[in-house]
Chains A and B, each alone.
Chain A
């Protein structure tokens, strides 16, 4: 895989970001339910069963759609205390089909989540170049600080520190201040991005 070509795509996406008008938007109707799942993922001790049951219950009651259900189940399967990689990969495939079937204005955001999940799986299994490919796809669909942070993580793991710093600088120079602020927060708090703090 030629990750230099991926870098060109990332830079192109960065260059064009200020002019994009993505059709994605967050669905407030699902926000509270996903917050509840997020809190269950943070609970100590963490219970995968309880989190899965909660996600299914919220889906059964119509609080979250099938795409978000599968996304939540994937995050549980990929959790460090679960590490069920095969199940996580199966679920993200199912999530992709559900997102395509659902379509609509949330398609790009849903597909960005699919690509991000696949990237995380690849990253956690040590396939950093494949992870960069997935994170690039996710970023092309959804320009977010989260996706940028993952790209920077993958670049650093690939040893491309100079490219990571160049990308960071380009984002800081050209992206909206709010996104830059959030990215700076990620860089300051994510241990994997510590090498990018030296020039802050």
Chain B
């Protein structure tokens, strides 16, 4: 499989990130995807919860 084909297949399975309530849960993951292969969770550090995000996929 070529890299492009790999990316195409891989990205087809990416889900739309689902934004959750950032007001009630300021220190929670602020977005995530329910779909494989690359689950990603945006973490909001407590120091500045609305100004940072980082992705910690499995």
Contacts and interface: CB of A to CB of B under 8 A. Distances in A.
A21 B1 contact: yes
Given A80-B27, A150-B54, A42 B43 contact: no
- B interface, by DSSP: helix, strand, loop or mixed? loop
Chain A interface: which size bin?
35 or more
Interface string B19-30: 110000101111
B39 A145 contact: no
Interface stretch (A7-15, A32-40, A96-104, A159-167): A32-40
A125 B3 CA distance: 34
Nearest to A20: B3
A182 B11 contact: yes
Chain B interface: which size bin?
35 or more
Interface string A124-166: 1010000000000000000111100110010001000000000
A25, A30, A78, A80 interface centre (most CB from chain B within 10 Å): A80
Contact of B8 (A34, A143, A145, A176): A176
- A interface, by DSSP: helix, strand, loop or mixed? helix
A35 B34 CA distance: 6
Interface of B: 1-4, 6-8, 10-14, 16-20, 25, 27-47, 50-58
